[in-house]
A and B are shown apart, each in its own frame.
Chain A
């Protein structure tokens, strides 16, 4: 059944994937199997996206399937040990309200085993600082789709520095407006304008690959 779930998920057969997952989750050890299989499927979808075979449309559909399946799978996982690679605080920076890309990246990062704390869109600089203090993440992810967000990221990183927290975390930036030059300009550690690459780099920053 795992193989069928994997196939139908990767082939974007929503009804079939959800149906199999519902069945599998009721079996002995099924919840863990569903979780692992869906993670594997998300990884495969990410690979196909990086290879240019899949597009944003598939990432959105896959993210939606993943969320649908997790909704009935996660409650059954309580008490199980679910390994986490580390924690990331993620938000779209102040002045910017785009969230589609951030949400895609979030699902893929979660599926890869990163524990993501999503602090939303149009996030004030200080809110990043508060979230870092509260959740003690290894990683901070910032998303930015508009040019105004570039200076917003820069300012956020300055405020994180002023709070004395910069050395405790690695910062990765993503979204349509980022590039190597922007990364250097704002003082981040890595950048990615595609989710699959972003997940790979995040794992590297966590020392997990």
Chain B
């Protein structure tokens, strides 16, 4: 049972995050917490156990989130790998999308995706899961993608990337989908237990949508990055038309969880760092901006993860309406972003995971103090590691130093 104290704690945490999103000063600087492979290591289990066994996964999460409290809705459950082209294929069936969009270990035992590898399967028990990516589409196929992205993802791409569905309509493919349904039901029930366990600790959960920038769907899932970069010069018009054709599917993916109560949509960016401002503004930003604006129109806040260096494109964020959401930065300095975006965009990030691994506790303490001195005033700031995953070897004394510094210096 969720005690009144736990409920109150959860409300405080949610309010802290919400205040930052609303560009206000909360009671303390909200902190998303650290996570990743360090969670199973801390619990003394292998990455394989953590990624395949719900019971062990749950115990590890409970231990971590008890010892290291944080403010955002915790990311728990089995970790998955991106599979959004298959999400597009099933975009009219939300209950399927939530299972195929990101594929975890046991689900991959069913779907047999070609471009992923998991610990204890293809990899050593303590390796991190791997998305290997690759080229799944030829340049001659752009016209098909443009004409009907959903049909193309279903009929052409899915059989290429899923071993279980390589022969659509065959008994093997029907059996795969039936097994998928059973596995999905089992996982939903397990997830409900995990969420319950964390709510008892004072955490809250909020469903959120996920989608990609249209051009990223093409480069991550269909053509691969180097090929897409060359396509921009070789077939510029086709690339542009394909990105436009994907706006609607991406909006649909992003908004489909509104019915379940989602108020936010997450969009991680990949190609941004590769492109010159000219290419960004011609090929990438127009369709991404359209997706963001439509999500905002639908009543959502958007969290965009600007992976890599986003410095060259920073000013384009100001083209969005104030209060649109959160800019989460990986390498771009959050201080620099704040100068430009204060009062317009909530800023998230602030500590490099490489530093958490390689600096001393005293250095981390000092860095966080300085960071908060500059970033906290005025609000609209969420403290977070620059990437979501700390490796197994992350020194726990450094993890402690980070949480203690947040406690010490985070008060408004």
Residues of A that sit less than 8 Å from B by CB: 12, 14, 52, 54-58, 60-61, 64, 95, 97, 100, 103, 122, 146-148, 150-151, 176-179, 181-182, 184-185
CB distance from B313 to the nearest CB of A (A): 10
Asked if residues B226 and A179 are in contact (CB atoms below 8 Å), the reply is: no
Residues of chain A within 8 A (CB-CB) of B331 are 176
Asked if residues B392 and A184 are in contact (CB atoms below 8 Å), the reply is: no
Asked if residues B355 and A179 are in contact (CB atoms below 8 Å), the reply is: yes
A-B pairs with beta carbons under 8 A, tally: 85
Asked if residues B128 and A176 are in contact (CB atoms below 8 Å), the reply is: no
Mark out the residues of chain B between 378 and 412 whose CB falls within 8 Å of any chain A CB in the assembled complex: 387, 389-394
CB distance from B231 to the nearest CB of A (A): 11
- B232: nearest chain-A partner, CB-CB: A57
Residues of chain B within 8 A (CB-CB) of A181 are 354-355, 358-359
CB distance from A148 to the nearest CB of B (A): 4
Asked if residues A57 and B352 are in contact (CB atoms below 8 Å), the reply is: no
Listed by A's residue number, 16 A-B pairs whose Cβ atoms lie within 8 Å are A55-B312, A57-B276, A58-B276, A60-B225, A61-B230, A100-B225, A122-B130, A146-B128, A147-B391, A148-B391, A148-B392, A150-B357, A150-B393, A177-B354, A179-B358, A185-B357
Known: A97-B132, A148-B128. A179 touches B276 (CB 8 A): no
Q: Which of A56, A97, A122 contacts B273 (CB 8 A)?
A: A56
The CB with the most chain A CB atoms within 10 A, among B130, B275, B308, is that of: B130
- A54: nearest chain-B partner, CB-CB: B276
Known: A56-B273, A60-B274, A176-B308. A151 touches B230 (CB 8 A): no
Q: Which of A100, A148, A151 contacts B226 (CB 8 A)?
A: A100
Residues of chain B within 8 A (CB-CB) of A184 are 358
Interchain CA distance A64-B127 in the complex, whole Å: 32
Please provide the 7 A-B residue pairs with the shortest distance between their CB atoms, ordered closest to farther. Answer: A185-B358, A148-B391, A56-B274, A151-B393, A55-B276, A181-B358, A60-B229
Q: Which of A12, A97, A148 contacts B233 (CB 8 A)?
A: A12
CB distance from B320 to the nearest CB of A (A): 23
Residues of chain A within 8 A (CB-CB) of B36 are 147
Asked if residues A57 and B353 are in contact (CB atoms below 8 Å), the reply is: no
Interchain CA distance A67-B316 in the complex, whole Å: 35
Asked if residues A97 and B130 are in contact (CB atoms below 8 Å), the reply is: yes
Residues of chain B within 8 A (CB-CB) of A54 are 276
Residues of chain A within 8 A (CB-CB) of B130 are 97, 122
- B279: nearest chain-A partner, CB-CB: A57
Asked if residues A179 and B354 are in contact (CB atoms below 8 Å), the reply is: yes
CB distance from B234 to the nearest CB of A (A): 8
Task: Known A-B contacts: A55-B276, A176-B308, A182-B354. Give 6 more (CB < 8 A).
Answer: A54-B276, A55-B279, A57-B279, A60-B229, A103-B226, A147-B354
* B22 part of interface (Cβ distance < 8 Å): no
Asked if residues B387 and A57 are in contact (CB atoms below 8 Å), the reply is: no
Mark out the residues of chain B between 258 and 274 whose CB falls within 8 Å of any chain A CB in the assembled complex: 273-274
- B36: nearest chain-A partner, CB-CB: A147
CB distance from B371 to the nearest CB of A (A): 16
CB distance from A99 to the nearest CB of B (A): 9
Known: A55-B312, A100-B225. A151 touches B274 (CB 8 A): no
* B25 part of interface (Cβ distance < 8 Å): no
